[in-house]
Chains A and B, each alone.
Chain A
């Protein structure tokens, strides 16, 4: 069935380093991908999105890369800060239908 998975359940980085969070998806028909940040006890917060006709998109300190050949998505956070500590989820959507499928999540822990 359709699934979105992550390679690493936990990622620990030093403050100031760059972080890379990876995600694999299985539905080749997915055409829209989103990264969310979730802090403890809160709802998901939109970070950045990318459509399947692109392979890279940049935001403020964040970059999302999409490799459709291997069905892989990554989130890069530059100069990681303590406030970036949270669980990060990738999600995929296909065909304009709004249903999102979430990956398992990666916990990012930023150490001073």
Chain B
């Protein structure tokens, strides 16, 4: 149980375009979802926390107008990178936490390359 999927697994987009990444909890209801960014050979950095039905809480230094997060249902959260630039190229990972709290279940990640 506790499976989280992400789509797409890899995406290449041109500079200036927007790209949407989906995160789904497949077998549980996720009251909270988290979005992380990971640059090569670095750790996971939390970008934002989203609770179903409410606005996301962004970490310091993360532009909320650039990284749009929607958590409209208990099984789906989306991250939209708007007007992407090469420096946004990274590995984006989501995680989901159910009503039991504590444990987060991680998705497989999405590799974004902006050319």
Contact = CB atoms under 8 A, between A and B. Distances in A.
Contacts of B111: 41
B101 A98 contact: yes
A96 B101 contact: yes
Contacts of A100: 34, 46, 95, 104
A45 B103 CA distance: 12
In this complex, the interface size class of chain A, counting residues with CB under 8 Å from chain B, is 20 to 34
A98 B104 contact: yes
Interface in B101-115: 101-109, 111
Contacts of A96: 101-102
A43 B34 CA distance: 13
A42 B104 CA distance: 16
Nearest to B10: A41
Interface stretch (A57-65, A77-85, A102-110): A102-110
Nearest to A31: B102
B103 A102 contact: no
B109 A42 contact: yes
A102 B44 contact: yes
B101 A44 contact: no
A45 B106 contact: yes
Interface string B86-105: 00000101010100011111
Contacts of B78: none
Interface string B1-12: 000101000000
Contacts of A99: 34, 46, 49
Given A98-B97, A103-B43, A104-B43, A44 B106 contact: yes
B70 interface: no
Nearest to B49: A99
Nearest to A36: B106
11 contacts: A32-B102, A43-B95, A96-B102, A98-B34, A98-B97, A98-B101, A99-B46, A100-B34, A102-B43, A102-B44, A104-B42
Interface of B: 4, 6, 32, 34, 42-46, 49, 91, 93, 95, 97, 101-109, 111
Top 3 nearest A-B pairs by Cβ distance?
A: A43-B106, A43-B109, A102-B43
